[in-house]
Amino acid sequence: MITFYPGPSKIYPEVAAYCQDAFSSGILSQNHRSEAFMTLLRTCIEVFKTKLNIPMSYEVFFTSSATECWEIVSQSFVSTQSHHIFNGAFGQKWFDYAKKIHPLSSGQLLDYQEKITNFSIPETAEIICLTQNETSNTTQLDLSILKNIYPEKLIAIDVTSSLGGIELAWEKGDIWLASAQKCLGLPSGLGILICSSRAIHQAKIMNDRNYYNSLLFIRDNFNQYQTHYTPNILGIYLLKRVMEQVENIKKISSQIIQRALDFYDYIENETDLELLVKNPEVRSMTVVGISGSKEKIQEIKHKAAKKNIILGNGYGKWQDSTFRIANFPAINNNEFDQLKQLLQQ
Ligand SMILES: *Cc1c(COP(=O)(O)O)cnc(C)c1O
């Protein structure tokens, strides 16, 4: 089977042996306050930060999912209002969760075919929330200017379907969140939250300690390389092994971007299919949306199924007229060649 599903997505094949190693090593039966676990957590965070070029001063925490991280943002960093800039379903969902916690939270819905050019961010918003890579409509947002326009506001960025695939400008955001089952090529059930020292400072001012997953409570434990509940030890172990295996993100990023550009070019010039995102400036580098007539899409899905190739379904209203292709690092070039063959026929 070959899968191009954008989450859960293809897992690095080496993970099969790492699971066996995890079992044999005994780490899975160790208490999460044991020396062995503390060493695992410390070394996992170290290699994760090194391979992804995360600044020393940023702190890394593990949770259960990206969705959980959305709630942590509202609970631990916001007292009355977050402001959400989004153009698709995941950004919308984040906004919806935020409003349940802080009803005054505000949002700006963008046209998914267009680059952000003008913002109207309320004075009263304490934090700006963005989805860098919108998995539902296969767009990516350029965030770099926000930090310059609003240097005093915290910026939280969902990078669930791009972390591990493209290099991120860490200094442009304060809170970054993701999960393991997309670009990182790992099984689901591990969320990742990355905080700048400004974010930690804000959490200390808020001083929220009301929830099992209040940031400061998580942090008290992580400061000792422990966790506030029995964590996904296997997930942390696998993340460490995969991070040891992969190249630095700079290298991965240039390969992923090149493969994305080649694939976009291929779809436009060598098939009778179209790209969902017309504007090259907002096309995602890690998830590609392809559109066509209902019949054509149906036919491709049928052919793919026969060859045991799984394509990502179109999201929501695009279910029948599009499909999505994950361009994640765990998927190899040979698999892309097979996909191209399929699409050419
Ligand atoms: C998949 C996805 C999520 C949700 O991730 P979970 O780990 O299921 O909580 C959030 N945001 C984006 C952009 C996603 O692609």
DSSP code string of 8-76: S-PPPTTHHHHHHHHHHHTGGGS-TTSHHHHHHHHHHHHHHHHHTT--TT-EEEEES-HHHHHHHHHHH
Strands 287-291 and 274-275: antiparallel
Ligand 1: centre distance to CA 187 (Å) = 13
Instruction: Note the Cα 245 to chain centre separation in Å.
Output: 20
Identify the pLDDT of residue 145: 78
Residue 133 alpha carbon, nearest atom of ligand 1:
13
pLDDT tens digits for range 229-249: 999 999 999 999 999 999 999
Q: Is 66 in the pocket of ligand 1 (CB under 6 A)?
A: yes
- Read off φ and ψ for residue 108, nearest 5 degrees: -130, 115
Q: Is 70 in the pocket of ligand 1 (CB under 6 A)?
A: no
Ligand 1: centre distance to CA 281 (Å) = 23
Give the residue, by CA position, lying nearest to ligand 1 atom 14: 160
At residue 205, does pLDDT exceed 80? yes
For residue 108, how many other CB atoms are within 10 A of its CB?
A: 18
At residue 70, does pLDDT exceed 90? yes
pLDDT tens digits for range 148-180: 888 899 999 999 999 999 999 999 999 999 999
With bands split at pLDDT 50, 70 and 90, how would you rate the model's confidence at 345?
Answer: low
Identify the pLDDT of residue 283: 98
- Mean local confidence (pLDDT), 22-30: 98
- Mean local confidence (pLDDT), 292-315: 94
Q: What token pair was written down for 315?
A: 């999201």
**Percent of the chain's residues with pLDDT above 70:** 100
Residue 191 alpha carbon, nearest atom of ligand 1:
7
Is the peptide bond prior to 8 cis by the omega test (within 30 degrees of 0)? Answer: yes
- Mean local confidence (pLDDT), 75-98: 97
Cα–Cα–Cα angle for 48, 53, 55, nearest 5°? 100
With bands split at pLDDT 50, 70 and 90, how would you rate the model's confidence at 118?
Answer: confident
Identify the pLDDT of residue 161: 98
Ligand 1: centre distance to CA 79 (Å) = 24
Residue 69 alpha carbon, nearest atom of ligand 1:
9
- Mean local confidence (pLDDT), 240-266: 98
Q: Is 226 in the pocket of ligand 1 (CB under 6 A)?
A: no
Q: Is 160 in the pocket of ligand 1 (CB under 6 A)?
A: yes
pLDDT tens digits for range 128-147: 999 999 999 999 998 777 88
- Mean local confidence (pLDDT), 31-46: 97
Q: Is 92 in the pocket of ligand 1 (CB under 6 A)?
A: no
Query: How many angstroms separate the first and last alpha carbons of the chain?
Result: 20
Ligand 1: centre distance to CA 7 (Å) = 8
Ligand 1: centre distance to CA 207 (Å) = 27
Ligand 1: centre distance to CA 93 (Å) = 10
Ligand 1: centre distance to CA 26 (Å) = 31
Mean model confidence pLDDT for the chain:
96
Amino acid, res. 153: K
Q: What token pair was written down for 30?
A: 């160790």
- Ligand 1, from 161, 193, 287: best to mutate by most atoms within 8 Å of Cβ? 161
Q: For the whole prediction, is pTM greater than 0.85?
A: yes
Q: How far is 271 from 254, CA to CA, in rounded Å? A: 25
- Mean local confidence (pLDDT), 285-314: 95
Q: Is 179 in the pocket of ligand 1 (CB under 6 A)?
A: yes
Strands (E), 267-345: 274-275, 287-291, 309-310, 312-313, 322-326
Identify the pLDDT of residue 117: 79
